[in-house]
Amino acid sequence: MNILDQVKRTSGCSKVRSGCDWGLLCALTILFAAGSALARQNPQRFAISKDVNLVLLPVAVTNAQGKSVSGLGASNFRVYENGRQQQLSLFRAEDIPVTVGLVVDHSGSMVAWRDQVIQGARAFIQASNVQDREFVVNFGSEVKLALPADVPFTNSIEELEEALSLPYTSGKTALYDALASALQHIREDKINKKVLLLISDGGDNASLHTFKQVLRMAQSANVLIYSIGLLDELSADQNPAVLKKVAAATGGDSYFPSSAAEVVRYCRTIAADIRHQYTLGYNPTAESNSGYRKIRVRVTAPGIGKLLTRTRPGYFSPSATVEHTPTEGQDQ
């Protein structure tokens, strides 16, 4: 069916009759064509909002048994910023696409986990929304965006596996620089819901950024960070506390598998957690201060029982964000 036929059908003019205004029909045809062209030029229909003041909260809701709870509405949620209740301006309960950065430790201490990392990443991608957009940051002593230069994001499993399969390196580890690079790159995509999956032992001995700087960058962004800690009891450089802290500060979670099967299972768990979240949004009241703002989310649903929520505990407002110039040394 061509455009003119579609307009005839929707306008009730399937036949040219004396009661049908042909001029109006032509005008509708032009508008229909223009609208279709704009839709093709703007495929990012899942971008939630361009409002820079909008605070987005991906919220996971579970019952006492730890199972995700679906079917809730906006009226079931209360959001507080610095103790003041906020008016929700956005509520989404459906699974929406996200931009995901896989931030993977490629230093020598992680070589033994190489196959498990690839298997886990494949399981994560397969369990994700098919419209998600991913990228890979590999890091050892240097940080590298691993997809081809002309492919900033992809949903191709083959391209992602190839990026994850690059050779591991010996030497030091620049985890904080890798997180900073991923946080900067993920801002380039227009999808609002953003996630980083960090796979590492948490050690860092080569970054120019400090942990304090990177943590503040993460707290100033609408980015969830999940971490999978692959630990070796003989390693002196590992730091699981870093993995736990960066996840908790952004509303994500941290996992510490002890086997290849657990790596795959936790990757699937994270993918499912992302897909079953509610997305809440609000514009902060003018009375809020310009520094760190604490967030609390309450959910009530009579008849369901006690519900637990997980989201980021707070954020730094854009006006409080400082220039994150790399400096020597590490601050934990």
**In this predicted model, what pLDDT tens digit does every residue of 233-250 receive, in sequence order?**
777 789 999 999 999 999
* Residue type present at position 281: G
pLDDT at 284: 92
Cα torsion angle, 305, 306, 310, 316, sign: positive
Q: Is residue 46 part of a domain?
A: no
Q: Is residue 87 part of a domain?
A: yes
What pLDDT, on the 0 to 100 scale, is given for residue 7?
A: 38
Shared domain for 243 and 180, answered yes or no, is yes
Per-residue pLDDT at 287: 61
Would you say residue 50 lies in a domain?
A: no
Q: What would the two tokens of residue 48 be?
A: 């939630």
Does one domain contain both 213 and 114? Answer: yes
Q: Is residue 252 part of a domain?
A: yes
pTM, two decimals, is: 0.82
Query: How many CB atoms are located within 10 Å of the residue 68 CB?
Result: 13
260 in the same domain as 312: no
What pLDDT was estimated at residue 36? 39
Determine the structural domain holding residue 130 and report its residue range.
Answer: 99-275
Return the closest-CA partner of residue 99 out of 222, 221, 195, 198.
195
Q: Which residues sit opposite 135 in a β-bridge? A: 101
Look at residue 273 in the predicted model and tell me its pLDDT: 96
Residues of the chain falling short of pLDDT 70: 1-52, 286-290, 318-332
Please report whether residue 331 resides in a domain.
Answer: no
Residues 197, 314 share a domain: no
pLDDT at position 47 is 45
Total domains, the chain: 3
